[in-house]
């Protein structure tokens, strides 16, 4: 029995569509898997941009006047993300041996390489009229070489996508080496 010509063409067209769908289906699955992995990677890097390692490298009594005391506090910030991070607007309170002795801030932009770290020096100016009692208790610790307990509490802003900065809060205590030779 002879099939009409349009039936043969229709069967041929159906078989060609099935053959074309099979590779496209597997390509679509591969693309979906790739998109999912890129999404997971981006989500992980975003979380890491909000999680940093910190350590206090050193503290130095810089100036002592009748009105104020200046301290230099060097903090090492380590970027845990696999992308270069841009951060700005550091604001923090500094405690020495549990005593609030002042605040520090930096408004500049800093770039941290992926998986890299930068040491930033913050100058804390403590006015005796405001922090006099705390400073008088902390001065014996600051004036002798050795390790002292320093707590730094504050926040900075990290750029997640170009032009969008999100706050990253930090609060950590570290034993800082009070060495004058560290500072140049």
pLDDT value for 181 = 45
Cα gap 131→75, rounded to integer Å = 22
HSE, side-chain direction, 13 A CA sphere, residue 39: 6
Cα gap 149→116, rounded to integer Å = 25
Residues 65-118 have pLDDT tens digits of 888 888 888 888 898 888 888 889 999 998 888 888 888 999 999 988 988 888
- On average, the pLDDT of the chain sits at 79
Cα gap 7→11, rounded to integer Å = 6
- Whether the model clears a pTM of 0.85, i.e. scores above it, the answer is no
Cα gap 144→45, rounded to integer Å = 42
Whether the predicted pLDDT of 52 surpasses 80: yes
């Amino acid at each position: 029995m002879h099939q009409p010509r349009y039936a043969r063409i229709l069967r041929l067209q159906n078989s060609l569509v099935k053959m074309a769908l099979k590779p496209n289906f597997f390509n679509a699955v591969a693309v979906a898997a790739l998109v999912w992995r890129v999404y997971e990677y981006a989500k992980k890097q975003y979380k890491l941009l909000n999680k940093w390692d910190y350590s206090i490298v050193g503290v130095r009594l810089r100036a002592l006047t009748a009105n104020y005391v200046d301290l230099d506090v060097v903090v090492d910030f380590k970027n845990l993300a696999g992308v270069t991070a841009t951060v700005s607007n550091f604001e923090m309170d500094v405690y020495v041996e549990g005593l609030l002795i002042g605040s520090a801030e930096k408004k500049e932009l800093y770039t941290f390489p992926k998986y890299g770290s930068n040491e930033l020096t913050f100058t804390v100016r403590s006015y005796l009229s405001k922090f006099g009692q705390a400073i008088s208790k902390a001065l014996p610790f600051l004036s002798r070489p050795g390790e002292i307990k320093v707590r730094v509490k504050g926040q900075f802003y990290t750029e997640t996508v170009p032009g969008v900065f999100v706050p990253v809060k930090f609060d950590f205590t570290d034993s800082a080496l009070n060495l004058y030779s560290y500072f140049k």
